[in-house]
Amino acid sequence: MSEQFQTLADVLARDRRSDRLAHLHAPSGRSYDYRRFLTTAWKSGLFFRNEGVRGGMAVAIAGDPIPETVLSFLGAGLLGATVEFEPDTLSEGTKALVAPTGRIREFDTGPGTRLVGYGAEPDDPSVSYWERDVWSENPTLPPDRVAPEDPLLRTDGVTYGHADLLEAATAVATEYGLDADDEVVIRTPLTDAGTVVGLLVPLVAGATLVVPDGETTGTLGIGDGPDDATMLPADIW
Q: Check pLDDT > 60 for residue 191.
A: yes
- Local confidence band at 69 (pLDDT 50, 70, 90 cut-offs): very high
Contact 225, 187 (CB under 8 A): yes
Q: What share of the chain is helix, strand, coil (3-state, %, to 5)?
A: 35, 25, 45
Selection from 77, 48, 46 nearest residue 143 by Cα: 46
d(CA 201, CA 220): 10
Can you give the pLDDT at residue 214? 86
Can you give the pLDDT at residue 154? 97
Q: What is the pLDDT of residues 29-52, one digit of tens each?
A: 999 999 999 999 999 999 999 999
- Can you give the residue ranges of every domain in the chain? 8-236
Can you give the pLDDT at residue 1? 57
Report the chain's mean pLDDT, rounded to a whole number: 96
Q: Check pLDDT > 90 for residue 123.
A: yes
Q: What is the pLDDT of residues 76-119, one digit of tens each?
A: 999 999 999 999 888 888 999 999 999 999 998 888 999 999 99
- The half-sphere exposure of 148 on its side-chain side, counting CA atoms within 13 A, is 8
Can you give the pLDDT at residue 215? 86
| Of 133 and 111, more confident | 133
Can you give the pLDDT at residue 92? 84
Selection from 231, 148, 139, 132 nearest residue 188 by Cα: 231
- CATH number of this structure's domain 8-236: 3.40.50.12780
- Local confidence band at 2 (pLDDT 50, 70, 90 cut-offs): low
The percent of residues above 70 in pLDDT, for the chain, comes to 99
Contacts of 4 (CB under 8 A, 6+ apart): 10, 170
Selection from 108, 45, 110, 130 nearest residue 81 by Cα: 45
